[in-house]
Amino acid sequence: MQAQAMRALEEAIVEWNGDRRRVYLTGLSMGGYGTWAMAAAYPGRFAALVPVCGGISRRTVPGLAEVPFPGEGTADPFATVARAVGKTPVWVFHGAKDTAVDPNESRRMVEAIKALGGQVRYTEYPDVGHGAWVPAYADPDLATWLFAQALAGGPE
């Protein structure tokens, strides 16, 4: 599925004359998991990441035995994904009262990225459950921050 998504992205960039330096990746809930997975599988491809109430650990998503998780089988999957993300700017959002995806998934990823000197912001909404995407995507600072990110090289 990841390769298919990347082919579709490439086709869209070509067809619509997209700016390869400004391809952003965001997703919510399982899409937040997908954001981490795609970023780990395609390091350096995205100008910025915005995972919302996502994670990387299988234990928080029962019944998904057939889905590969990034960093799975490594001593520290959070550090493994953080290394793959590298210096890609990341803004993570999560609701503190989320019972569908443990907020510790986001907290641990943020700490792993920080430990490696990565660029990461974290917003945790204290009174929000799993629907953290509502305030996250409504945050006026998000668009400003996101559109300020670009991969190095090429014209501005």
Q: What is the pLDDT of residues 56-87, one digit of tens each?
A: 876 545 555 555 667 777 788 999 999 999 99
Q: What is the pLDDT of residue 62?
A: 55
Examine residue 11 and state whether it is found in any structural domain, yes or no. no
Integer Cα distance of 26 and 104 in angstroms: 19
Q: What is the pLDDT of residues 94-125, one digit of tens each?
A: 999 999 999 999 999 999 999 999 999 999 99
Question: Domain range for residue 83?
Answer: 19-147
Residue 40's nearest CA partner among 65, 51, 21, 16 is 51
pLDDT at 61: 53
The total domain count for the chain is 1
* Alpha helix positions (H), 16-86: 30-41, 77-85
Residue 104 counted as domain residue: yes
Q: What is the CATH number of the domain that holds 91?
A: 3.40.50.1820
Residue 68's pLDDT is 60
* Residue 49 pLDDT class (50, 70, 90 cuts): very high
Q: Is 6 domain-assigned? A: no
8 lies in some domain? no
